[in-house]
Amino acid sequence: MIATIIGTGLIGGSLAISLKEKGVASHIIGVDQQESHLQRAKELGIIDEGATLEEALKRSDLVVLAIPVDAVLKVLPIIMDKVQPGQVIMDVGSTKKNILQLVAGHPNRGRFVAAHPMAGTEYSGPDAAVRNLFTHKTMVLCDVKNSDEDALEMVENMVDQLQMRTVYMNAEEHDLHTAYVSHISHITSFALALTVLKKEKEQGRIFELASGGFESTVRLAKSSPDMWVPIFKHNRSNVLDVLEEHIHQLQQMKSLLEEEDYDTFYKLIQKSNKIRKILK
């Protein structure tokens, strides 16, 4: 199988590595607006060749869009208009509602499979690509009833070969749940980094005193705004909903500290410890 990866950064690059190593694809074509990314991806052996979108579409069995959601919304209609018989188009974007609304009713809608691998790191670009990024992680497939049977089967087989778990959701469920388990983590990390940078004037002290707890909490603040601003934009209502609850919890803790009500604070922390049963 020949696979084209549009976007040769962390997710696209890691996927290209896995598709080749697992024997899913025999040849990987890279497409990227940044020529430097294509060149670096070739140097690292992530892709076999770089090509224009038009050239790649003519030769590919599978086309994966691994680019920010804003870019997906611009490129996907062009691709859908040019889909060839038997070709499968797949995206790996972090929001789904707007993408699926865009392709709804398109005559080639059945060739499209909406997917989201729940995997990643805080780094970006071809050098961020890593082997086995997706192993034992979860792949969410959305609104699969609207995908052709053979297109869905190709993606499901790929997910199995990548040793991933498969979860099925509709677009609304996906965007709601990812707001709570992924998007809030990133926006909180960005806010924490800004808080520390604002209050800690001696930045050298941060590095001297920062322990594993701080590093793990603020790690996501290294993530690219090119990726995350479109995510917050296209999942705005759900992110606002989870932010409202998060701010409520922070305000509650602030009030308890102001009132020196440490008994209630203790009970709140005990309640939060229940997350252990979910995240073992």
Residue 253: enclosing H or E segment and its boundaries?
helix 236-258
Q: Cβ atoms within 10 A of the Cβ of 20, count?
A: 18
- Which residues of the chain form CATH 3.40.50.720? 2-170
pTM (two decimals): 0.87
Q: How far apart are CA 118 and CA 138, in angstroms?
A: 5
Q: Residue 234's pLDDT is what?
A: 96
pLDDT in tens, 190-247: 998 898 887 776 665 665 666 666 777 788 999 999 999 999 999 999 999 999 999 9
The string of DSSP letters for 126-189 reads GGG--TTTTTT-EEEEE-GGGS-HHHHHHHHHHHHHTT-EEEEE-HHHHHHHHIIIIIHHHHHH
User: In the numeric block, which tokens belong to residue 52?
Assistant: 């224009």
Q: Locate CATH 1.10.3660.10 in the chain.
A: 174-277
Return the CATH superfamily for domain 174-277. Answer: 6-phosphogluconate dehydrogenase C-terminal like domain (1.10.3660.10)
**DSSP 3-state assignment of 6?**
strand
| Paired tokens of 77 | 């209609």
Q: Sheet of 62-65: strands edge to edge?
A: 49-50, 27-31, 2-6, 62-65, 88-91, 112-118, 138-142, 165-169
Q: Please give the chain's pLDDT, 280 residues, in tens.
A: 999 999 999 999 999 999 999 999 999 999 999 999 999 999 999 999 999 999 999 999 999 999 999 999 999 999 999 999 999 999 999 999 999 999 999 999 999 999 999 998 888 899 999 999 999 999 999 999 999 999 999 999 999 999 999 999 999 999 999 999 899 999 999 998 898 887 776 665 665 666 666 777 788 999 999 999 999 999 999 999 999 999 999 999 999 999 999 999 999 999 999 988 766 6
- Does the domain spanning 2-170 belong to CATH 3.40.50.720? yes
Nearest to 119 by CA among 104, 105, 129, 107: 129
